[in-house]
Structure 1
Amino acid sequence: MELAKIEQYIEKYFEGTTTLAEEKVLKTYFSQDEVAPHLRAYQPMFRFFSEAREEKSAREFRLRSGRKRYYAWFSVAATVVIALGVWLSGGPSTEEKEALLAYEETVQALYMVGKNLNKGANKMEYLNEFEAAKNKILPPENK
């Protein structure tokens, strides 16, 4: 195997972009006794992966399928409880309704006050004109 290709595969391996075929080439290369001196540090790692794949457990494990059924029922029950909670608390409470009504009435009152203030500000122009005309006719008083 070409050494440059192995180095390229190692770089891709540590980036996580190798294919299964490239990883197989790396495992085959590092299972040999003749490995380039600057790549010998990787040899124990790839040998470990090959040996660990062959290991079998002596202990027998049984899978309990009953627990899956319980988890399914628990998830259904939780969904029903959440749906009922949302459905029962769907509308606003009487306090919230009263607060919303008070808010709307306050907004209307403030709007009316603002509208009347604007009318009053427009009338102030007439007062300024009146004051100017009065000052032309009567001399200003000494203060």
Structure 2
Amino acid sequence: MELKEIKILLEKYETGESSLAEEKMLRKYFRNHQVPEELKAYQGIFAFSEVEKEKKSTVNGTLPEPVKSYKHLWTGIAASIILLVGIFLFQDDSSEMQDSELGTIQNEEEALQKSMEALKMVSKLMNESKQDLIYLKEFNKTKDKFLKTE
């Protein structure tokens, strides 16, 4: 096999595009002791793979029998029972109220008054939040002193 062909196969090997047959040809070539000096590093790689391929595992392949535990089974059953008891004991009885009574006001002036109160409350909360923005502006001024924006 020519040195040029070996270099092409090595490039394919390094990029992961070589086939098993090509890798077998490389292993066979590097088993030969007449390897050019520039390819000595590859000889070690392929020699190592040959040695490791021949090794057999000495570890016993059997695993101990797993201990059967019903702990998880009983935990699941207990959680299910607690869930069911909680659903039945803490069931909301507000469904007895009629839907027509919830949140409706028959008098138009009273409805207007309640709406105005709600809007005033929202306005008050918005104004309080707006006052907090002063601190944000001060923070931005200080930040801009240290960080120059372009």
TM-score (norm 1): 0.49
TM-score (norm 2): 0.47
- Higher alpha-carbon Rg: 1
Which structure has more helix as a fraction of its residues? 1
